[in-house]
Amino acid sequence: MSGVQRQKKVNPWYYTALLTGLAGSLHCVGMCGPLAMALPVGRLPQRLRTGAILLYHAGRIGAYASLGIFTGMLGQVLVLTGLQQPLSIGAGLFLLIWTLSSQRYANGLRTSSLGQWLSRPLMQLLHRPSLASFLGMGVLNGLLPCGFVYVAMAGSLANDTAPEGAAYMALFGLGTLPALLSIRWIPTLLPARLRQRFSRALPIMTLVLALLLIGRGLVPYLKTHSPGQPARPEAPLCHGRN
């Protein structure tokens, strides 16, 4: 083996996942915070409470990662078919139009049939507190319709494999942890007025991600068709030159 080992570079696109999670964490406090505060932790023995909260968030992040597997697989198919660049541009334009046209962005999506369908077993688990039920509640909460989860999934489409998509969505989930843990353990750290002020800046992160997606799709095209770019070599002839 050679003494010099190649170091694998971290995909810079992962930083957008973490930043999206951090920017959307205050949105999560507004949407998921009441659920986090309603978790029946007090009905568990003292020694199990911290583990139950961590299991809840592990289930939530695991649900995000499972969504990332599907988006990563879709991204791989798009790469093989040569459609990832157009879809990246389309996803960016969709986020751009959605953000600019939405008048109640911070309130998230309206109650849907999927949300109602997932809420029923979630409420059942709330009344049967155990370590397993906390994990299940986290998984169900991660699958609930949420605008910022869809924003992260749009960014995850830019990945080429299922593991990369899962890692992207897991990083998004990790980015939401600080706010959700703080509202549980230090409720006074994020008062309602502060959350309202920061919520006004939430569309900005979506616009940034939309522009990054558009740029990710346009840059390879511009490089290929730039005037100074050398022409692609022609395929070699089987019988040589005449």
Buried b (16+ CB within 10 A) or exposed e, 223-234: eeeeeeeeeeee
CA 182 to chain centre: 20
pLDDT tens per residue, range 111-132? 556 667 777 888 888 888 889 9
Greatest Cα pair distance, the chain, in angstroms, is 86
Q: What is the pLDDT of residue 30?
A: 60
Geometric angle at alpha carbon 64, from 59 and 70, rounded to 5°: 130
Give the global pTM: 0.75
Domain residue spans of the chain? 33-218
Q: What is the pLDDT of residue 174?
A: 93
pLDDT tens per residue, range 178-196? 878 877 776 666 666 666 6
Question: Which DSSP string corresponds to 41-70?
Answer: GGGS-HHHHHHHHHHHHHHHHHHHHHHHHH
Low-confidence residues of the chain, pLDDT below 70?
A: 1-10, 26-37, 101-115, 186-202, 220-242
Return d(Cα 21, Cα 177) in angstroms, integer: 8
Q: What is the pLDDT of residue 93?
A: 84
- Using a CB cutoff of 8 Å and minimum separation of 24, what contacts does 33-37 make? 33/180, 33/183, 35/137, 35/141, 36/180, 36/183, 36/184, 37/183, 37/184, 37/187
Q: What is the pLDDT of residue 56?
A: 93
